[in-house]
Amino acid sequence: MSNLQQPVGEVGGKDFYLDLLFYHLHLRCYVVIDLKVEEFKPEFAGKMNFYLAAVDDLVRHPDDNASIGLILCKEKNRIVVEFALNTSKHPVGVAEYKFTNRLPKKYQAELPTPKELREQLRKAAKPT
């Protein structure tokens, strides 16, 4: 379990943790994000619905709107996703992510290179 995970709270005597939890100010609702390193599977929808129900019951304020979910996967099959989410009570989206080693040109000047970053980390780790 990563330290970056957000606790939902105790449900049925067990602690559950989300990958990411945000609050959308304009929509006035929580956004639950579940990160997957594999292709979308139908059981991911059930897990997301569980998390959304828990957040709505344990975290959401009565004035907030219902929470929404986003499942980020390595790959997805649109038909499998449609069947898996067909009966969901909560709004849930599924999206693919892509890794790239190339940083867009407009950001290259703004961020340190990997070499510069390593050097900065070495300097920071040395005792003064």
Q: Please check the confidence at residue 1 and state whether its pLDDT lies above 70.
A: no
Residue 126 lies in a domain: no
Q: Which residues on adjacent β-strands are paired with residue 40? A: none
Q: Please check the confidence at residue 17 and state whether its pLDDT lies above 70.
A: yes
Count of structural domains within the chain:
1
Give the pLDDT confidence score for residue 4 in this predicted structure.
47
Residue 18 lies in a domain: yes
Residue 14 lies in a domain: yes
pLDDT tens, residue by residue, 64-111: 999 999 999 999 999 999 999 999 999 999 999 887 767 778 877 787
Residue 42 lies in a domain: yes
pTM tops 0.85, yes or no:
no
Helix or strand (DSSP H, E) at 22: strand 20-24
Q: How far is 101 from 69, CA to CA, in rounded Å?
A: 28
- Structural domain boundaries, residue 87: 6-101
Number of CB atoms found within 10 A of residue 52's CB: 25
Residue 122 lies in a domain: no
* Domain CATH code at residue 73: 3.40.1350
Q: How far is 18 from 70, CA to CA, in rounded Å?
A: 12
Q: How far is 38 from 55, CA to CA, in rounded Å?
A: 25
